[in-house]
Structure 1
C-alpha cells in the first residue's frame, strides 16, 4: 500500500465513522516503531506506521486510523483532543478505535533482553540485577546502606 491508497482509506474512514471529511494529508512514516500513528496539531496531517499494517493487518491499522482521526476532528472542532480528555475517550469508544497499538514483534524481543550485571551488597548480600552498567561508587544498598560490588553475568 502506498501513501495515495492510505489517503483514500483515511478519507473513507473519516466519512464513514465521523460523518466529516478529512481535508489534510495522510502518509506512512517507516520511522514510527513504538507508536502506531501521529497527528500533527500545526499542519493537521496524520502519519501511520507501515510496520503496524505489515505485522497486524488492516483491521488493527484501521483502529489506529480511527484513533488519529479522533485527535483530528476534535482538534478542528476545538474540543478536547488529548488522550486525557473525556471528549476524546468518548469519541474513541463510539467509533471503535484503539487506545494503544500492539507492540511490534521485533520490539518485544528486544525489550526482553537478559540482565547483564548483578550488584551485590557486601553487608546483607542482597542482589540487584541490571541491564545497564552503573558506577557502584556512587550508590549504596537500598536495604542496609552497605557497599555494592558489580559482577558481569555470563550470557546463557
Structure 2
C-alpha cells in the first residue's frame, strides 16, 4: 500500500466513523518500532507503522487509524486528546477504536533473571544478583556474616 492509498483510507475512515474531514497528511513511517502509529501535535499529520498492515492486516490498520483520528479530532477541537483524558476514552468507546495495537516486535525474554547467587556463611540466607558483588566489601543484611558465591549463570 502506498502513502496515497493510506491517505485516502484515513480520509474515508474519518468521514464514515467521525463524520468529519481529515485535512492534513497521513503516511507510513518505517522507523516506528513498537507503536502502530502516532499523531503529530505540531503538524497534525498521522504516521502509521507499515508492519501493522504486514503482520496483522487491514482490520488492524483501520483500528490504528481510528485511534490516531481520535487524537486528531479531539486536538483540533481543543478537547482532551491524551490517553488519560476522559474525552479521549469516551471517543474511543463511541467509535469502537482500540486503545492499544497488537504487538509488532517480539521481545527476547531471558530464561533466568539472576546471574549470581550468594549465600551467607552463618545463617544460609540466599541473595540473587544480576551483577557480581565484592564479597570482601558486602556482608549479610540479616546477621552480618560473610557472603559466599554459590552459583554463577551465564546468560546468552
TM-score range, shorter chain: 0.7 to 0.9
Greater helix fraction, Structure 1 or Structure 2: 1
- Partner residue, 2:86: 86
- Partner residue, 2:116: 119
- CA 1:115–1:73 in structure 2 vs 1: closer, same or farther (change >3 Å)? same
Alpha-carbon deviations, 1:58-112, whole Å to 9, x = none?
Answer: 00111110000000000000000000000000101111111011112xx22x332
Q: Matched residue of 2:81: which SS?
A: coil
User: How many residues align structurally?
Assistant: 149
C-alpha root-mean-square deviation of aligned residues, in Å? 2.8
Gaps of 5+ in 2: none
TM-score normalised per structure 2: 0.82
- CA 1:154–1:32 in structure 2 vs 1: closer, same or farther (change >3 Å)? closer
- CA 1:93–1:147 in structure 2 vs 1: closer, same or farther (change >3 Å)? farther
Larger radius of gyration: 2
Gaps of 5+ in 1: none
Q: 8 Å contact 1:115–1:153 — kept in the other structure?
A: no
Deviation at 1:129, TM superposition (A): 6.7
Post-superposition, which runs of at least 4 consecutive aligned residues in structure 1 deviate over 6 A? Answer: 139-143
Q: 8 Å contact 2:64–2:98 — kept in the other structure?
A: yes
Between 121-130 and 46-55, report the one with greater CA deviation: 121-130
Alpha-carbon deviations, 1:97-132, whole Å to 9, x = none?
Answer: 11011112xx22x332433752212214535375xx
